[in-house]
């Protein structure tokens, strides 16, 4: 009994088939499949054992090389909840992912285009097409052009419908011919007295530089989330690295600077009547994106248990003596409890009474002069 290798390429995939001269055969592939054919997942060695109903067997292995076919990366971009006549204008960026180094490099970019073959859709829509791309792993990011319809309402969105590259779904090539559609995330309209602003700049040692801060980082995506980590809005840093979120209600916010390939540290801030304007600066270096507020927070204070019960334990590691005000603040900015604490250099431990708090999310704020660090906790 002979086994013949046959390859059938088409526009979507490549089929590797074991061909025998008659029926009544059973197939067992090294992949675990039991059909007469398989779709190889990539280059490598694939083996099959064919057994006749009489008990006779034959085996063969195939060295499978470069995949055949025309593997394109393309799809639709839609703005959910928008006018059917909204014409999306912008760009889709395709990043190649190196899983060994956990690094991203820009493969290419292409403009969003209207699809004249489609009837009007319930949402604004466009499509993108990178054509055939090499075998590998990719991330796709859709961004509407500034000052175009919908650009103030919809956030930059990765394939997988998320806002940061670390959460994005990966596009694997070769694939089975699917479209890689992106639904843009819609932000919220905000109105209030608060402001968050700051700068994004090259940090010490960026790209082998010295210890001084470097140039401004233009075009970085600064994302704003609420206390439940729901996306609200975004800004692209200006030529001087600056960004500003205005008209924010009192409450707690999370900020993240998304630069593909660089891990980011989030900054949590609370806008309240006694602090309606907050500045958060971000440093970009070869290890990622950091901010002084969160770096101090992580190093200086820890809370447990979280969620808290009747009491919340607090540990502070300070580099100098502090005469600190410790506050528990609601997500609406209301100070619910305030205590003065003398914190010595080194490690200090104390507890806060949380027994009268209703279940929910709160902020513990430690303020020394004009400096404040904030940590979020839950009450069960």
Domains of the chain are 2-64 (no CATH), 74-184 (2.60.40.1120), 194-291 (2.60.40.10), 295-379 (2.60.40.1930)
The values of phi and psi at residue 78, to 5°, are: -125, 150
User: How far is residue 226's CA from residue 154's CA, in Å, rounded to a whole number?
Assistant: 16
Could you give the percent of the chain with pLDDT greater than 70?
A: 80
For residues 321 and 249, what is the distance between their CA atoms, to the nearest angstrom? 34
Token pair of 90 as six digits = 């912008």
For the CA atoms of the chain, what is the radius of gyration? Answer: 28
Residues facing 11 on adjacent strands: none
Q: Across all residues in the chain, what is the average pLDDT?
A: 81
Six token digits for residue 44: 């490598």
Half-sphere exposure in the Cβ direction for 80 (13 Å, CA): 10
pLDDT range class, residue 380, cuts 50, 70, 90: very high
Long-range contacts of 50-53 (CB under 8 A, 24+ apart): 50/1, 50/3, 50/18, 50/20, 50/25, 50/26, 51/25, 51/26, 51/27, 52/1, 52/24, 52/25, 52/26, 53/24, 53/25, 53/26
Encode 161-194 in three state secondary structure: CECCCCCCCCEEECCCCCCCCEEEEECCCCCCCE
pLDDT at 299 over 70: no
Q: Which has the closest alpha carbon to 136: 92, 98, 166, 179? A: 98
pLDDT at residue 99, as a whole number: 79
A 10 A CB-CB count for 47 gives 12
Of the pLDDT bands very low, low, confident and very high (cuts 50, 70, 90), residue 370 is low
Distance from C-alpha of 289 to C-alpha of 214, rounded to nearest angstrom = 14
Cα separation of 91 and 88, whole Å? 10
Q: Tens digits of per-residue pLDDT, 102-114? A: 789 999 999 998 7
- Kindly report, residue by residue over 193-248, the tens digit of the pLDDT: 999 999 999 876 454 444 455 688 999 999 999 988 899 999 999 998 999 999 99
Residue 22 in this model has a pLDDT that exceeds 70: no
Residue with tokens 């900020």: 255
CA distance 337 to 328: 5
Q: Coil, helix or strand for 318?
A: strand
* Per-residue pLDDT at 245: 95
The pLDDT tens digits for 135-193 are 889 999 999 999 888 899 999 999 999 999 989 999 998 887 789 999 999 999 888 89
Q: Coil, strand or helix: which one is 280?
A: coil
Per-residue pLDDT at 237 = 93
Say if residue 7's pLDDT is above 50. no
């Amino acid at each position: 009994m002979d086994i013949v290798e046959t390859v059938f390429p088409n526009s979507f995939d490549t089929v590797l088939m074991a061909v025998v001269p008659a029926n009544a055969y059973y197939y067992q592939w090294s992949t675990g499949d039991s059909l007469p054919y398989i779709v190889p997942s990539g280059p490598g060695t694939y083996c099959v054992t064919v057994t006749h109903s009489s008990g006779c067997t034959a085996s063969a292995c195939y060295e499978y090389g470069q995949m055949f076919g025309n593997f394109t990366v393309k799809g639709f971009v839609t703005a959910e909840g928008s006018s059917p006549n909204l014409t999306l204008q912008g760009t889709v960026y395709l990043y190649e992912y190196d899983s060994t180094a956990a690094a991203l490099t820009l493969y290419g970019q292409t403009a969003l285009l209207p699809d004249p073959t489609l009837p009007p859709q319930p949402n604004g829509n466009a499509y993108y097409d990178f054509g055939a791309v090499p075998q590998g792993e990719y991330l796709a990011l859709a961004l509407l052009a500034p000052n175009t319809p919908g650009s103030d309402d919809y956030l930059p969105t990765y394939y997988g419908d998320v806002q940061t590259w670390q959460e994005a779904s990966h596009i694997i090539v070769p694939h089975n011919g699917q479209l890689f559609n992106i639904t843009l995330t819609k932000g919220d309209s905000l109105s209030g007295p608060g402001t968050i602003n700051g700068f994004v700049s090259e940090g010490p040692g960026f790209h082998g530089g010295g210890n001084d801060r470097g140039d401004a980082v233009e075009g970085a995506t600064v994302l704003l989330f609420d206390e439940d980590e729901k996306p609200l809005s975004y800004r692209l840093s200006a030529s001087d690295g600056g960004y500003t979120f205005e008209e924010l209600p009192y409450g707690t916010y999370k900020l993240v600077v998304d630069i593909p390939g660089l891990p980011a540290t989030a900054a949590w801030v609370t806008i309240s009547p006694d602090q309606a304007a907050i500045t958060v600066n971000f440093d970009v270096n070869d290890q990622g994106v950091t901010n002084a507020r969160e770096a101090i927070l992580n190093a200086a204070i820890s809370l447990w248990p979280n969620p808290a019960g009747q009491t919340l334990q607090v540990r502070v590691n300070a580099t100098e003596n502090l005469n600190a005000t410790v506050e528990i603040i609601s997500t609406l900015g209301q100070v619910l409890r305030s205590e003065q604490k003398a914190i010595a250099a080194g490690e200090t431990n104390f507890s806060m009474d949380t027994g009268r708090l209703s279940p929910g999310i709160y902020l513990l704020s430690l303020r020394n002069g004009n400096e404040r660090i904030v940590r979020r906790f839950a009450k069960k």
